[in-house]
Chains A and B, each alone.
Chain A
Amino acid sequence: MGLFLKGITLPKRLSAPSLSLIELAAPEKVILPLRQYVGEPSEAIVAVGDSVKTGQLIADASDTHRLPVHATISGTVTEITAHSDPRGLHVESICIESDGTDTWLTPPEAQQPPPDTDNMVTRIHAAGLIAQGPFSTPLAYDLVPVDQPKTYLYRDGTNVVQKIDTLLINCLDAEPSLGVNRYLASTHNDTLEQGIAALKAITGATRVVFAVDKHFSPWPQLNEIVQNDEEEATCITALNGRRFPTGLPIPLVKAALSREVPLPYGHPRDVGVALYDLHTVIAVGTSTTSSAPQTTTMITLGGGALKQQGIATVRLGTTIGSLIDSLGGTTDAAKIICGGPMTGMAQYDRDTPITKEVTGLFALTDTEIQLSGEYRECINCGMCVKVCPVNLLPGILSLYCAKDKFDLAEAEGLFSCIECGACDYVCPSRRPLVHLFRHAKHQLME
């Protein structure tokens, strides 16, 4: 399985550098956007000048399109204003200046288990969890409960009833350069089993599949879970994690389960798969055993302009500038990327905060990005066709997009493009293919 999946093998320098854990001190200032997911912003319930404690609710959510926001340090609210976020948008954000004590509203060790009357979806929502990945919706909204299947109407009129039968846990990362899930797969996590149990109970999935990177064995805890499963409905699928884009949701469902997500506009749940990162599953487990909200996130730190590289647990709202400085960042960083180097977003502002969506922070030097700004004409070599994981003809599509023939591009399957960037990576003419596709999609959607 996965043998015939197309894509690229990234060189060693772009694979996860080291999976060592970096300890970080609590930041002096955090900026907490009121929207850290795809959806609507929530409403602030604190005012400028209020003092808050770690874990305190500072913005409330009225429905599942929004998520509650919690303070991640203790201190004083200094500002509530629009601020740049990692997506490059301006979002209303709460700034908190630290008082240096980091006092919790309720210390994590004193947290009571949530009352049994709450159902699990409510707990997941109250903890503020999101489904990490390209869709990044609030987790409570993303989950399809077994008793209320969602139906989804496609543009062509096909009606899809989403009924989950498989829980696919992504222990790879979206890109080989990222390493959080790989790191978690190789260690022991107290709440993983509770997380799996909760997700199985909510979605009604009968089978659990771990998609792991075969280069990062062993996985003691995962093996144990597979052995302890009396129904034998749990398995481990080892995939080549150096291959890109195996870790992205749509190719991963194909590689691990041989199911094709309908494209365009498809989602793994359309083919009965609940696909979550290991990181998310563990957070779900935590939210079922304790009522502590999510105040931190685990991200990969990499790039040649950082002295220290590895995995770190970061307080939400830490600005990327202060994070880079605390890791011994040098001034020769040419590009700061939230996410991985293949699919991440380039940042322009050192005050942009780390949000729940961020999976990695990369500070790349000039030599790493090889930016020339010049590109040649398509030489029709077919390298892009060879690597495209969804079988498009990227070169020909790019010609249509560059000449404003957007309708022709759409007929060729433009919207099936998952923007993985593999074609862009291999193009000998250095054509900005993904840029052209995004431009065309944007023009067509208007």
Chain B
Amino acid sequence: MEHRNYIVSMSPHVRGGQSIETMMSTFIIGLIPTALAAIYFFGIRSLIIMVLSMATAVIVEALIETLTHQKRTFRDCHALLIGLLFALILPSSVPWWIPVVGATVAIVLGKALFGGLGNYPFNPVLVAWVVLRLSWPERMSLFFEPHTTTQILTPLMAFKEDPSLFYSYNLSSLFLGQKPGLMGTVCNLAILIGALFILYRGVIRWHIPLSFFAGIACFAAVLRYINADVYPPVTFHLIGGGVFLAAFFLAPEPVTSPVTPTGMITFGFLAGILTMIIRMWGAFPDGSFYAILIMNSATPLFNYLKPKVYGRSYSA
């Protein structure tokens, strides 16, 4: 009987777990409830923004890989994820060219310039968001009332102008999404459903989201304790702005977040506190995106918070 030559390689001889494609598509599936909620609250306009952003991201990545003769990896769903996430942190009022420019910036400046997936130090989505926020501030902070095209301030912006206003919002509308805001941040329920899915599939772990919430809650609770008349309740801070999306989809982004359990908890907690500092005393109404971007730069440091290597106390 003729036998083929056997393959020889190092163990392990079987593979399991996830691939980059399944990981990224799990993230995208996790964002579907949020995207549907955005379409429900802000109409077909938000669907067009999302499609434009995703298409641009994939096309730009494919172009870059062709022009620079790199391995074609644009099909791995990562560009698609960047496009979708970027669209979800835009207000629904933006003109058509904002998602196109933003997705291009995210792929070129955020990802490709640093060497592609695995090498960028900052979350590309947030890099693009900051570039656009600073370049066209008035277009990036124009919010519509849900189901209409009436201009209105978001809860956090209103609070910045007049601290007593937060009593005019009821908690259920803040949680379910009946409020002005970024497309992907209004409906916390939808984000939570998607987040439970990605947690269950194991692509993110509980450490960063939970400690991020803990950081915000602790800081807000202390402020509330000091002066309950000026500072809003903890729940307002947790569900009033973009904290849910930031905690579940932006902060635990694999490349730019720490890998050790202690590192992840510290990262999340400090990002939460930084969010509160920016909200309270910074120039911007919602600080969670900036906070994550700043913490990204310290990610290599958090990886020094290592677990004890097994059996090491004995010999070292």
Contact = CB atoms under 8 A, between A and B. Distances in A.
Interface in B288-311: 303, 306-311
B316 A434 contact: no
Interface string B18-54: 1110110000000000000000000000000000000
A260 B10 contact: no
Interface stretch (B56-64, B157-165, B253-261, B269-277): B253-261
Contacts of B307: 391
B4 interface: yes
* Closest A-B pairs by Cβ, 7 of them: A262-B314, A382-B259, A421-B12, A426-B17, A377-B118, A263-B311, A390-B310
A295 B119 CA distance: 55
Contacts of B11: 337, 339, 341-346, 419, 421, 434
B15 A260 contact: no
B309 A341 contact: no
Report the contact-size class of chain B (Cβ under 8 Å from the partner): 35 or more
Contacts of A334: 4, 6-7
Given A331-B2, A347-B6, A382-B254, A250 B311 contact: yes
Nearest to B4: A331
Contact of A337 (B13, B15, B258): B13
Nearest to A436: B10
Contacts of A333: 3-4, 6
Report the contact-size class of chain A (Cβ under 8 Å from the partner): 35 or more
Given A14-B16, A335-B6, A429-B20, 9 more contacts: A8-B16, A335-B8, A341-B14, A346-B7, A369-B15, A393-B260, A395-B259, A413-B312, A421-B12
B7 A369 contact: yes
Contact of B13 (A154, A341, A382, A428): A341
Nearest to A11: B16
B254 A342 contact: no
28 contacts: A14-B16, A254-B310, A260-B311, A266-B311, A331-B1, A334-B4, A334-B6, A334-B7, A342-B13, A344-B11, A346-B8, A347-B8, A362-B13, A376-B73, A376-B117, A377-B119, A378-B118, A379-B20, A379-B118, A381-B259, A385-B261, A391-B306, A416-B309, A426-B17, A427-B17, A428-B17, A429-B118, A430-B15
A275 to B, nearest CB: 15
A376 B118 CA distance: 9
B259 A380 contact: yes
A376 B20 contact: yes
Tell me the interface secondary structure of chain A in the complex.
loop
Interface of A: 8, 10-11, 14, 154-156, 158, 250, 254, 260-266, 321, 325, 331, 333-337, 339, 341-348, 350, 362, 364, 368-371, 376-383, 385-386, 389-393, 395-396, 413, 416, 419, 421, 424-430, 432, 434-435, 438
Contacts of B23: 381, 428
B3 A350 contact: yes
A307 B315 CA distance: 48
Contacts of B310: 250, 254, 260, 263, 389-391, 416
A36 B10 CA distance: 21
A217 B10 CA distance: 34
Tell me the interface secondary structure of chain B in the complex.
loop
B9 interface: yes
Nearest to B258: A382
B315 to A, nearest CB: 5
B28 to A, nearest CB: 15
Nearest to A88: B8
A199 B205 CA distance: 45
A236 to B, nearest CB: 25
Contacts of B3: 321, 331, 333, 350
A186 B199 CA distance: 38
A35 B215 CA distance: 61
A434 B10 contact: yes
Contact of A262 (B12, B13, B257, B311): B311
A383 B311 contact: no
A262 B303 CA distance: 24
